[in-house]
Amino acid sequence: MGKKVGIVNSGGDCAGLNAVIASIVRAGVRMGYEFVGFEKGWEGLLSPIKMRPLGIPEVAGISYLGGTILGTVNRGRFGAKQGAGDPRRIPREILQEAKENVEKCGLDGLIVIGGDGTLSGAMQLADVGVNLVGVPKTIDNDLSVTDRTFGFSTSCQIVVDALDRIHTTASSHGRVIFVETMGRHAGWIALRSGLAGGANAILLPEFAFDMRELLEFLRERQQRAGSSVVVVAEGVRIRDRSAARQRRDQEVMLGGAANMVMAALDEIAEPDEFEMRGVVLGHTQRGGTPNSADRMLSKAYGVAAIEAYDRGDFGKMVYYKNLTMMTCPIMEAVGTLKRVTEGDLEYHTARKLGVFVH
């Protein structure tokens, strides 16, 4: 007789989420499992419970869809991370309620899909005795143990497509256009897409940069090429300044990084020296159809997750390393973020090609 497993996805949506869900169900049903999905992330597991059956008919045709059929939230009673990953303990009574609801629903355990915050919550739930396996989900590609997370490739392609268009209008008008991407604490989207999309400058959260150095770079560019395109990660820092701001509910809010850089540049440049514009790509990077690379990766993650669950690898996360799916304790996955360093291939390549990357 098959076991019954719940699926939870929480945090921000990204391309490939539905493909992971569908693959867990499709592979799991063949192995004798039944599934339910909890709606709106962890909130659906807490009272009042919001869940729905997930069988082959329910997941048919969803793998190419963006977003998640279960819905999601990135805050609530189960919030377990804030800022750059500082741990926040979930109240014992919330963890106990979640555990009791798992039992009340007749579930053997959970498969949890999420980033460092979601998986930190999953780790605490595992500590009180819930069987679960984690699947990494972050378009920022910043979980330390895995080579690549699903949604990242699609997000980068969306930025590259935008840059292809922005280059033509920047050169036509002789403008400096600042393109703001996602990237709270790690600048992988900005770096990978900026390099692929021919950005002239790439500003990352990992390195505080000097505004006067950027000014001189852009002056030289204007004299030589007449225009520039600058990619700005949303968590960028000018020396010790940051575009991030903290909300009362622990969620870090970002946005306005491109405007912040333009305003700082305008303070030290000559009057009307540059004609500047800002483009915030925002949630376009999250939405829409996953590309072929993310569909394949998502399906591999889904199959690996139910296989790990079937082996009893509880309290662990599946991850992608050297073209292979592996497992590790969730603690190892959420302990540190994977950030850009000067030794990374993309960073080295950009510098050698004359890109202002800081």
Is 60 exceeded by the pLDDT of residue 83?
no
Task: Specify whether 146 is located in the same domain as 159.
Answer: no
Q: How far apart are CA 123 and CA 324, in angstroms?
A: 23
Given 285, 304, 323, the domain boundary residue is 285
Task: Specify whether 237 is located in the same domain as 197.
Answer: yes
**Strand blocks (E) in the chain:** 4-9, 34-38, 51-53, 81-82, 86-87, 109-114, 132-136, 176-181, 201-203, 228-233, 237-238, 241-242, 245-246, 252-253, 276-280, 316-321, 324-329, 356-357
Task: Specify whether 145 is located in the same domain as 14.
Answer: yes
pTM attached to this predicted model: 0.91
* pLDDT, tens digit, 9 for 90 and up, residues 179-237: 999 998 999 999 999 999 999 999 999 999 999 999 999 999 999 999 999 999 999 99
Confidence band, pLDDT 50/70/90 cuts, at residue 245: very low
Tokens of 15: 């391309």
**Nearest-CA neighbor of 230 among 257, 267, 248, 268?**
257
Q: What is the pLDDT of residue 345?
A: 97
Task: Specify whether 64 is located in the same domain as 133.
Answer: yes
Is 80 exceeded by the pLDDT of residue 84?
no
**Range of lowest pLDDT (34-38, 69-73, 245-249, 254-258):** 245-249
Instruction: Work out the mean pLDDT of the chain and round it to a whole number.
Output: 91
Mean pLDDT of 23-45: 96
**Nearest-CA neighbor of 209 among 178, 176, 244, 237?**
237
Q: Hey, which of 87-91, 255-259, 304-308 has the most confident mean pLDDT?
A: 304-308
* pLDDT, tens digit, 9 for 90 and up, residues 49-79: 999 999 999 999 999 999 999 999 877 777 6
Task: Specify whether 175 is located in the same domain as 38.
Answer: no
Is 60 exceeded by the pLDDT of residue 88?
yes
Mean pLDDT of 160-186: 96
Task: Specify whether 118 is located in the same domain as 219.
Answer: no
Task: Specify whether 213 is located in the same domain as 98.
Answer: no
Task: Specify whether 281 is located in the same domain as 319.
Answer: no
Confidence band, pLDDT 50/70/90 cuts, at residue 2: low
**Range of lowest pLDDT (236-250, 277-291, 297-311):** 236-250
Query: Identity (one letter) of the amino acid at 244?
Result: A
Q: What is the pLDDT of residue 35?
A: 98
Q: What's the domain range around 171? A: 153-285
Polymer length in residues for the chain = 358
Task: Specify whether 137 is located in the same domain as 219.
Answer: no
Cβ neighbours around 46 below 10 Å, total = 18
Task: Specify whether 134 is located in the same domain as 216.
Answer: no
The enclosing domain of 262 has a CATH number of: 3.40.50.460
More confident position, 144 or 52: 52
Residue 270 DSSP one-character state: P
**Nearest-CA neighbor of 286 among 140, 101, 83, 89?**
140
* pLDDT, tens digit, 9 for 90 and up, residues 114-124: 988 899 999 99
Out of 140, 142, 294, 313, the active site residue is: 140
Confidence band, pLDDT 50/70/90 cuts, at residue 244: very low
Q: How far apart are CA 139 and CA 195, in angstroms?
A: 17
Q: What is the pLDDT of residue 253?
A: 45
Are 110 and 129 in contact, with CB atoms under 8 Å apart?
no
Residue 91 DSSP one-character state: P
Q: How far apart are CA 226 and CA 186, in angstroms?
A: 31
Residue 239 lies in a domain: yes
Q: How far apart are CA 337 and CA 253, in angstroms?
A: 18
In sequence order, which residues have a C-beta less than 8 Å from that of residue 311 and are 6 or more positions away? none
Q: How far apart are CA 257 and CA 255, in angstroms?
A: 6
Task: Specify whether 167 is located in the same domain as 139.
Answer: no
Query: Identity (one letter) of the amino acid at 88?
Result: R
In the chain, the number of structural domains is 2
Catalytic site includes residue 140: yes
Q: What is the pLDDT of residue 86?
A: 55
Is 90 exceeded by the pLDDT of residue 240?
no
In sequence order, which residues have a C-beta less than 8 Å from that of residue 50 and are 6 or more positions away? 38, 39, 40, 43, 44
Residue 194 lies in a domain: yes
